[in-house]
Amino acid sequence: MTTKKPSRIYPTTVPLSEVLTMAVEALWSNRLRTSLTMLGVVIGIASVIMVTSVGQGVQKATEQQIQSLGTNVMLVLAGVARTGGVSQGAGSASTLTWEDAQAIAKQVPAAQAVTAFLQRSGQVVYNERNTSTSILGTDLSYPDVKDVRPAEGQFLSQEDLDNARSVVVLGSKVRDDLFGSGGQAVGAKIRIQTGRYTVIGVMDPKGSVGGQDQDDRVYIPLTNMSSRIVGNNALTGIAISGLWVKASDDAQLEAAQFQVTNLLRIRHNIYPPTPDDFRITNQIDIINTFSNVVGLFTILVGAIAGISLIVGGIGIANIMLVSVVERTREIGIRKAVGATNRAVLSQFLTEAIVVSLFGGAIGVAIGVGLAFAASTLFGFPFVVSLWSVAAGLALAFTVGLFAGVIPARNAARLDPIAALRSE
C-alpha cells in the first residue's frame, strides 16, 4: 500500500488553524468517502429541522384559525344522548333550551353576548345540484359572537325569527356547490329537507378550524329549525344543541365560565354529586390542548428522525477507524519527526468534527428548504426557529466529537516504530 507523504512537519504545538487546514486537506483528498460519511448526518439534521419547522407552522396556523373565532368565546354543549348504550355525542340530548341562553344573556354579568344554535346534517338542493351540509338554526346574535358577517345580502332579522320564516343564509362553500364559484345566490329558492327556503345572504369565507369547515353550513331561524326540521323535542321551550358565550375580553372568560356553570346548575336543579348535563369548552383550552398534542407529536417524530444522526455518527466512527488503519505509516512518520500524541489526536478528532459540522450545515440548508416547500404547498406559515438551527448544529458537533474520540485515540496511541514498519 502506498501512502501519501505528510504535507507538513508537526512542531511541538500545532496551532488550531494548522490542524483545521490539515484536516480539510485529508478529507478533500478522499472526497467521495467524505461525502458518503456525512450523508447520515445530512439526512438526520435535515429531518429534524423540517419536522420541527412543519410542526410549528401547523401549530401556528391552527392557533390563528382558532383565535380568529375569538379567544374570549366559550361553547356550552347539551348533554349526551345514548342509544343502546352508544353515545350520540355532545349536544345530542335535549338538556339545554333557548330559554337557558336568554337567561345567561340577562343574568351573567361577564357575558357580553350569547347565541343559541340547533344543528343537524341534511341535504340542500337547487335545481339539479345538491349537497350534504350542516344546517344551523340560530338567532340574531350569531354574527356578533362568532365574528362572521354576510359578504352578500343580509343575515337573519327579528321578523324572520318571530315568524319562523323559511329564509336561509348560505356558507360560501355551499353557495359554490349549488350555484358555482361566485354564482348569484341571493333571491334564489332552494330546498332544505322537504321545505323551500329563500336565500337572503351569503357569509364571508372563514375556512376550516379543528377539522370543521366553517363555510360548509347554512343558517336558518332557530324557530324555523325547531318547528319544521327537528321538531319541538323539549318539554318546555325550544331545545338547542348548544350555545356560544362571548365575554368582554380574555380576562373575563374564566369568570363567565364560572357564572354560566352555576346558573345552569340552578336552572336544571343539579346539586352535588349529580353530574352536569352540559359541557363547557373555551377557545383557550382548545388552543392549549392542540398545542400540547402537536408539540408532543413534533418531539416524537423529531426523535425518530434523530435516529439517523446516530446512524451517521456510527458511519463517521467507522470511516475514521478505517482511515487510521490506512494512514498508519503516515502517522508513524509524523510521530517520528516530532508530532506529539496530542497533535495526532487533535487532527483525527478535528477531521471527524469537520465532517459532522459540514454535514450539519448542509442538513440545515436542506431542512429549511424542505420546510419552506411544505409551507408553500400546504398553505401554513413558514416557521424556522433559531433554537432548532442551533440545536441541529450542536447535535452535529456532538455526533462528530463522540464519533471521532475512539479513532483519534487509537491513532494517538500508535507506536511510531510499529507504524513505520507497516505496509
| Domain limits, the chain | 16-64+289-421, 94-276
pLDDT of residue 203 exceeding 70, the answer is: yes
State the pLDDT at residue 130: 92
Q: Where are the beta strands (DSSP E) in 236-384?
A: 239-240, 242-247, 278-282
What is d(CA 139, CA 134) in angstroms, rounded to the nearest whole number?
16
Of the given ranges (126-140, 265-279, 377-391, 401-415), which has the lowest mean pLDDT? Answer: 401-415
Are 298 and 385 in contact by the 8 Å Cβ rule? The answer is: no
Q: Is the pLDDT of residue 282 over 50?
A: yes
Cis preceding-peptide flag for 273 (omega within 30 of 0): yes
CB count, 10 Å around CB of 143?
19
Q: What is the phi/psi pair of residue 194, to 5°? A: -110, 0
Distance of CA 333 to the CA centre of its chain: 57
Please tell me the predicted confidence (pLDDT) of residue 61.
76
pLDDT surpassing 60 at residue 87: no
Any bridge partners for residue 126, and if so which?
A: 129
> How do residues 406-422 score in pLDDT, each as one tens digit?
777 777 777 766 656 65
Of 83-92, 294-303, 325-334, the one with minimum mean pLDDT is 83-92
Look at residue 89 and tell me whether its pLDDT is greater than 60. no
Q: What is the distance, to the nearest Å, from the Cα of residue 328 to the centroid of all Cα atoms in its chain?
A: 52
What is the spatial distance between Cα 8 and Cα 224, in angstroms, rounded to a whole number?
A: 92
* DSSP for residue 116: E
pLDDT higher than 70, residue 14: no
Rank 60-64, 117-121, 144-148, 390-394 by mean pLDDT and report only the highest. 117-121
Question: Which of these, 74, 46, 31, lies nearest to 396 by C-alpha position?
Answer: 46
Can you name the residues that pair with 236 across neighbouring β-strands?
A: none
Backbone angles phi, psi at 42, to 5 degrees: -60, -50
Q: What is the dihedral of CA 76, 149, 232, 87, to 10 degrees?
A: -40
Q: What is the mean pLDDT of residues 315-325?
A: 74
Q: Who's near 9: CB < 8 A, 6+ residues apart?
A: 334, 337, 338
The pLDDT value recorded for residue 83 is 44
Neighbours of 84 (CB within 10 A): 4
Extended strands (E) in 154-209: 167-170, 189-192, 195-203, 208-209
Q: Which residue has the higher pLDDT, 39 or 294?
A: 39
The answer to whether 400 and 355 have CB atoms below 8 angstroms apart is yes
Residue 16's pLDDT is what?
67
Residue type at 366 in one-letter notation: I
Q: What is the pLDDT of residue 2?
A: 47
C-beta atoms surrounding 302 within 10 Å: 18
- Beta-carbon contacts of 201 under 8 Å, excluding residues fewer than 6 positions away, are 150, 152, 153, 154, 155, 169, 170, 186
- Per-residue confidence (pLDDT) for residue 137, from 0 to 100: 94
Backbone angles phi, psi at 273, to 5 degrees: -95, 20
Q: pLDDT tier at 267 (50, 70, 90 boundaries)?
A: very high
Q: What is the pLDDT of residues 98-122, one digit of tens each?
A: 999 999 999 999 999 999 999 999 9
Please report which confidence band the pLDDT of residue 65 belongs to, taking 50, 70 and 90 as the band edges.
Answer: low
Amino acid making up residue 164: A
pLDDT class for 82, splitting at 50, 70, 90? Answer: very low
CA distances 304 to 65, 150, 167, 269, Å, are 29, 47, 54, 52
- On the question of pLDDT at 399 being above 70, the answer is yes
Q: What is the pLDDT of residue 196?
A: 94
Cα 86 vs. chain centroid, distance in angstroms? 31
Between 115 and 64, the higher pLDDT residue: 115
Q: What average pLDDT does the segment 142-165 reach?
A: 92
> Which residues on neighbouring strands pair with residue 168, listed in sequence order?
199
Question: Which pLDDT belongs to residue 5?
Answer: 47
> Model confidence over 164-200: pLDDT tens digits?
999 999 999 999 999 998 889 999 999 998 899 999 9
Residue 230 is given by DSSP the state: I
Is a pLDDT exceeding 50 seen at residue 85? no
Average pLDDT over every residue of 265-280: 89
Residue 264 has pLDDT above 80, yes or no: yes
Q: How confident is the model at residue 287 (pLDDT cuts 50, 70, 90)?
A: low
- Cα angle 35, 36, 42; round to 5: 75
Task: State the cell numbers at 181.
Answer: 364559484
Instruction: Tell me which amino acid residue 235 is.
Output: L
Give me the mean pLDDT over the 26-31 stretch.
76
**Cβ–Cβ < 8 Å for 39, 363:** no
Highest mean pLDDT among 4-13, 65-74, 191-200: 191-200
All three cell numbers of 385: 426557529
pLDDT for 188 equals 94
Least confident of 1-5, 31-35, 138-142, 147-151: 1-5
Mean pLDDT for the chain overall: 80
Query: Dihedrals φ, ψ of 131, to 5°?
Result: -150, 150
| 86 band by pLDDT with thresholds 50, 70 and 90 | very low
pLDDT at residue 156, as a whole number: 95
